[in-house]
Chain A
Amino acid sequence: MTTVSIPDVMRILPELILAGFAILVMLFEPFVPAGRKRVLGWIALLGVLVAGMAFTWAPPNAGMAFSGSIAADGFSYFFIFLFLTIAALALLGSINYLERDNIHHAEYYALILFSTVGMCFMAASAELIMIFLGLEISSLSTYVLAGFRRHDPRSNESAMKYFLLGSFATAFFLYGIAFVYGLTGTTNLVDLAADLAQPGKWSTLTRAALILMFVGLAFKVSTVPFQIWTPDVYQGAPAPVTAFLSTGPKAAAFAVLVRIFLGLAGPSGPAAFWVIWISAALTMTVGNFAALLQKNVKRMLAYSAIAHAGYVLVGLAAAMASGSTEGASAVLFYLAAYAFMNVGAFLLIAHLAGPGEGRTEISDFTGLGRAAPGAAACLTVFMLSLSGIPSTAGFFAKFYVFRASVHAGLIGLTIIAVLNSVVSVYYYLNLVVTMYMREGEPQAARTPMPLPLYSAIAASLFAIFYLGLYPNHFLLLSTLSSKPLP
C-alpha cells in the first residue's frame, strides 16, 4: 500500500482543477443575481483554461499513479486536451444560448465541467474501477444536461431515454467487469493483459465478459445495434449539449476501447477483431443510409455521428489487425478532427434554430445563403468537412483512417467505408444546396452571432483548416500519443 504522493497528485491535476472549479461555480450560484449568470460561465471557462495550463505549469512526467490506476501517458494527455477543448467550445457556445432560452442556471456549467472530469478519468485510467467511475461521472452529468430544457417535452424525453438505456448499458458493462474480476482476480488493465496472456486462460466466460464490456462502451460510442438511442437523444437534447455529447463521451469511450482492446488484442484472438470489423461496417452503413431519410438537421447530424463512429471503428480494426501505431494514430486524429467539425456545426445550429429551438427542419434553412451569408458559409464549411472534402480536417481524418486500413490489409472494409463516404456527401450537400440554391425565405434565426459563439465557431473553423491544410504536425502528435502506457 503506497501513500498518496505529490507526483501522483500532479498527474491528475487537470481533473482536480476542473472539479474544483465546478464546485466553485455551484458555490457562487446563490450569490450571483439572476441577470448575471453568465459570470459563472466565464468562471467555468476559466477553469478549463487553468486546467489546460496546468500541464504547462507542472510539466507532466509520464508514469503510473495511484498504485497503477491512473496512467499518465501521451495517450491520456492527448485525450485530456481534446476534452478540455471540447468543453471550452461547448461553454462558449452555451452562454448566449442559455440566456436566450431562459434556462440560465449555474448547474449547467458545473455539469459540463464534471462531465469533462469523468471523461478525463476514462481516458487516463488503467483500472476498470476507475474507468467505471469516470464513465458514470460523465454519464450522470450528461443525462441531466440532455434534459436541461426542462419545459420542453422533447428534451425530457431525450434525457429519459438516454438515462434508461445508458444505465442499462452501464449495467451490462459492470456485469462484464465483475466477471473479468472473478476470472482473473484483478481489475488492473496491465495485470489483466498479463494474466490473460497465459495459455489456457481464455474461457467461454472470459469471452462473454469481454463482449459485455464491449457493449457498455459500444453504447457510448453508438455502434450498431447499440446506436438506437442516438438519434432520439441528439435530436431532443439542447443543441449545445448535443455538440458536447456527440464528441466528448464518444471520444472518451473510444479511448477506453483502444486501451482495452489493443491491450488485449493479442490474447483475445481474431474473433474480437471481427466483432470490431462487423460493427464498423454495420455502423457506417446504417448511419449513412438512415441519414439520407432525415428532414431534421439535428437528427440528420445524429445519424451522421453514428456513421462517423463507424469510420473510427475502421481505424480501430486496422490497429488491431496490423498492430502498428498507424491505425491508433488515425483514430486519434479522426476523433479530434470530428470534434471540431461536429461541435461547430451543432453550436451554429443551436444559434440558427432560434428561441426554443423551433427551427431545426432542413427546410427552415432554405435561402439562408442570402439571408445570413456568414452563418451559411460557416455551416457549409462544417458540412464539407464532415463529408470529407479535401483541404478540410474531415478529408485527412478519413484519408488517414482509410490508409491505415489499406495498409493493414482490410481492403473489403476500406471499400465499404469509401462507398459510405460517397453516400454521405449527398445528405451533407443537400443542406448546402438548400441554403444556397433553393428559393424561399429562411425560417432560421437571422440575428447576428453573439461574440462568445462567434469565437467558438472561429476556433473550430481555424482548426478545421489547420488540420486540412497542415495536417502533418497534428498527425505526428497523434502518432506520438497513440501508444498507451500499459
Chain B
Amino acid sequence: MLERIWLIPLLPALGAAFQFFFGRKVKKSVVSLVSVGLPGVSFAWAIGCFFALLGRPEHLFTKVLYDWWPVGAFHLSSGAMGNLNVHVGFLLDPLSAVMMLVVTGVGFIIHVYSIGYMAHEGGYYRFFGYMNLFMFSMLVLVLSDNFLMMFVGWEGVGLCSYLLIGFFFHRRSASDAGKKAFVVNRIGDAAFLLGMMLIVVTFGTVNFQAVTEAARSGHYPILDPTITAICILLFIGAIGKSAQIPLYVWLPDAMEGPTPVSALIHAATMVTAGVYMVSRANALFMLAPAAMALVAGIGAATAFFAATIAITQNDIKRVLAYSTISQLGYMFTACGVGAFAAGIFHLMSHAFFKALLFLAAGSVIHALSGEQDMRKMGGLREKIPVTYWTYLIAALAISGIPPLSGFVSKDEILWQSYAGPHGHLVLWVAGWVTAGLTALYMFRQIYMTFHGTSRVEPEVEHHIHESPRSMLAALVTLAGLSVIGGFIGWPDLLGGSDRLGHFLDPVFENPVPVALKNYSAGREFDLMFLSVLIACTGIYVAYRIYVRRPEVADRVAKSFGPGYEILLNKYYVDELYDALFVNRVKNIGNAASGFDQYVVDGGVNGVGWTTRLTANLSRLWDLYVIDGAVNVAAFFTKLMSYPARVIQTGLVQSYAWLIVLGVLIFMGYYLVHF
C-alpha cells in the first residue's frame, strides 16, 4: 500500500491526461466516470495508506522515487561544502496524512457534486480535466518530501486556479479575475522562491526532514537573522496563496469561477496550502519568534477585517469568500502562537463546513438559475429543504455552536491564542470579536436567503427546484462530516482526549518549550463560555435585524453612514491598489497636468508641500526612470534592427559574401592563432 503511495497523485493526473487527449471525443458519462472515478480510487488508496501508516509504530513513511535534480557540490553560506541532490520523493507523516485525506476526501465529494452542477455547462470535459490536474498538483504539494517539489505543486495549483477562475472565459470579468489571481500570486511565489534559495544556501538541502532536523539540532540560535528572513519570505509566499492582508484581493474576485471550484480550490484546499507550508516549516518558525509574531498579527488582523467586510456584501459567494479569508486568518493566528496542531485541526474542519457552504450556495444558485444576489432571494426554506438544512448545519458549525466541528477547532485556537506560549490577550480579543461577527454574517446570509418573504424575480420563481441527487449526496455527506468532524479533536476539558492533536504531536515536537501558560481549567471553561455566548449574540442580532424587522437593516446601514460605505466597498483596497500600482503608468499624463494646477494654486501648509514633493518625485520617477526604461528598450531594439537590416538583406549573394567572409576570418584566425 504505502510503497505505491505515488498512485495517489498519479491517478488524478491520468484523469487529466485522459480529458486532455480524449475528453472532446467521448461521451459525458465517460468523462465523469473517468474524472470522478480516478480521484475516488485515489481517495480509497489514501485511506489505505493512512491505516498502513497508523500500523507503523513511528507514524512515518518516506519513499524516494528517483533522483530528480542532482545539482552536485557547492559552497554553503557557512563555508562548508554542501551536496544538493533533489529527489522526487514522498513523505507521509501525521501532518501530510491529514492533508492527504482532506484533499482526496473533500476533493472526491466535490467532484461528485460537479457532475450535477456542471451538467449544463459547455466545456464539461475541460472542467474535469482542470479539476483532475488540480488534484494532482495539490497532492504533489502535500505529499512531497522537499520544498522544491512542493513548489512545483504550488505552482501547479496556482495554474489550475487561474485556469478555473477564468473557466467562463467569455465573461470578461472572469478572465480579468483569473489574471488578477495570477499576478497577485506571483508576488507571493517570488518570495517563496527566495526563501527556498536561502534554505538551500543555509542548510544545503531542501528535504523537509533534513531541514527540520538541522533546525532542531540546536546549532542555530533563536532569533537567528537568516532563519528569520527565511521564515518571513516563506510567510509572504503563504500570504499570497492563502489570501491574507495585504495580498487577499484576488480571492473575492476568484468567485467568478464555477462554484465547485470555489469550494475545492478557494475554500477547502488550495488556499490552505499556505497554512500547511507554515506548519511544515514549524521547526524554522520556532526559531524565529519575530516571524511568529508577524504571522499571528497578520492572521488576527485578517480574520477581523475580512469578517467586517463580509457583513456588508450582498453576493452570496462573496460573503463566503471573505469568510474564507477570515477563517484562514484564524489558522494563521494559531500557527503564529505556536499551536500548529490547532491550525491544522481548524483547516480540516473548515474544509468540511466551508466546502459545504459553497456547495450549498452553489445549489441555491443552481435553483435560482444563476442568481447570486442575496437581495433577490429569500423564503427558499420550503422550496429547497435539503439545501437549507445542510446550509444551516454548516452555518452553525462555522459560527462555533457546540458540539459541531467549528466550535471545537475554533475554540482550540482561541484558547491557544490566549494561553499559548506566544499568546496574547489582544489576539484573543480579536478572535473573540471575529467569532461574533462570523455568526452575524453567516446568519444574515441564512435569513436573507432562506427566510422571510421571497424577493425572487418572477420568471426565476417557478423554475426553482431542488438540485439533482449527486449534488445533494455531496451536501449531506459534508454536513455529516461537519457535525462529527470535531470529535476527533474533542478537548480534554470536555471529557475528550484530543486524538488529532496527539496524532500530530510528533511533527510539531520542538525542543523549544511550548508549555501553556499556567492557567486553570476554569479559565479555559470561562473563555469557552464567552465564545459561545458571543456566537449566540451574533445569531440573535442577525435574527433581530433581518427576520424580525427587515426594515431595520437599511436604517442600521444609514446610521452607520460612511462606515457602512467603507465596508461595502471593502475598505477601498482594490481602488487603493489600482491607484498605487495598476493605474500608475496610465495616469502619468493626468498626474502631470494635475501637478501644474497644484503649483499654481499651491497651498502653503506642510501636508500640501509634502504631497507635492512626493507627487513631483513620483512624476520624475515615471518620466525619467519608467519612461526612460521603456525608451531605452525601444531605442535598443531600433539600434539592433540596423545591423539586422544591413546583414539580413534577403539577397542570396550578400549571404554568399558573408559566408566567404566568414571562411576567410575563421581561417585567418585559425592560421594566425595556432
Contacts and interface: CB of A to CB of B under 8 A. Distances in A.
A289 interface: yes
A290 B648 CA distance: 10
Contact of B663 (A164, A215, A224): A215
A290 B644 contact: yes
A219 B659 contact: yes
A252 to B, nearest CB: 20
Interface string A237-280: 00000000000000000000000000000000101101100100
A161 B179 contact: no
B429 interface: no
Interface stretch (B202-210, B612-620, B666-674): B666-674
A289 B662 contact: no
A15 interface: no
Contact of B659 (A168, A274, A373, A403): A168
A214 B640 contact: no
B658 A225 contact: yes
B659 A160 contact: no
A467 B674 CA distance: 40
Given A207-B670, A437-B179, A469-B68, A293 B644 contact: yes
A169 B175 contact: no
A215 B671 contact: no
Interface residues of B, number: 38
B656 interface: yes
Nearest to A374: B20
Contacts of A2: none
Contact of B169 (A212, A226, A370): A370
B670 A458 contact: no
Interface residues of A, number: 47
A232 to B, nearest CB: 6
A56 interface: no
Nearest to A395: B69
Contacts of B669: 271, 274-275, 278
Given A169-B659, A225-B662, A228-B659, A469 B671 contact: no
B663 A165 contact: no
A225 B169 CA distance: 46
Interface string A372-396: 0110000000000000001100000
A362 to B, nearest CB: 14
Contacts of A290: 640, 644, 648
A225 B647 CA distance: 10
Interface string B557-581: 0000000000000000000000000
Interface in B616-674: 637, 640-641, 644, 647-648, 650, 652, 655-656, 658-659, 661-663, 665-667, 669-671, 673-674
B67 interface: yes
A469 B659 contact: no
B655 A228 contact: yes
A472 interface: yes
A373 B673 contact: no
Contacts of A211: 663, 666-667, 670
B666 A164 contact: no
A214 B661 CA distance: 14
B88 interface: yes
A466 interface: no
Contact of B641 (A160, A293, A469): A293
Contact of A470 (B66, B179, B641, B663): B66
A290 B671 CA distance: 30
A211 B126 CA distance: 55
A164 B126 CA distance: 49
A229 interface: yes
A343 to B, nearest CB: 18
A207 B655 contact: no
A231 interface: yes
Contacts of A448: 24
Contact of B652 (A161, A215, A370): A161
B66 A472 contact: yes
A293 B640 contact: yes
A207 B674 contact: yes
Contacts of B66: 470, 472
Interface in A160-192: 160-161, 164-165, 168-169, 172
B513 interface: no
Contact of B152 (A370, A391, A470): A391
B637 A293 contact: yes
Interface string A446-486: 00100000100010000000000111100000000000000
Contacts of A215: 659, 662-663, 666
B662 A272 contact: no
B21 interface: yes
Nearest to A214: B666
Given A274-B673, A454-B21, A289 B655 contact: no
A448 B663 CA distance: 47
A379 B260 CA distance: 28
A226 B659 contact: yes
A198 interface: no
A229 B649 CA distance: 10
Contact of B648 (A212, A231, A269): A231
A294 to B, nearest CB: 9
A437 B182 CA distance: 11
A232 B644 contact: no
A450 to B, nearest CB: 12
Interface string B117-140: 000000000100000000000000
A281 to B, nearest CB: 14
A232 B650 contact: yes
A454 B17 CA distance: 13
Contact of A271 (B24, B648, B659, B670): B670
A204 interface: yes
Contacts of A226: 659, 662
A208 interface: yes
Contacts of B55: none
A292 interface: yes
A448 B656 CA distance: 42
B522 interface: no
A403 B652 contact: no
Given A165-B655, A374-B20, A472-B66, A228 B648 contact: yes
Contacts of A168: 656, 659
Contacts of A232: 648, 650
Given A293-B640, A454-B21, A472-B67, A164 B88 contact: no
Nearest to B20: A374
B495 interface: no
B68 to A, nearest CB: 7
A274 B674 CA distance: 10
A210 B666 CA distance: 11
15 contacts: A161-B655, A168-B656, A208-B667, A215-B666, A225-B659, A225-B661, A225-B665, A229-B655, A231-B648, A271-B669, A271-B670, A292-B637, A373-B169, A454-B21, A470-B88
Given A160-B652, A226-B659, 5 more contacts: A215-B659, A215-B663, A271-B673, A274-B669, A274-B673
In order of increasing CB-CB distance, the 6 nearest A-B pairs are A225-B662, A370-B169, A228-B655, A211-B667, A271-B674, A271-B673
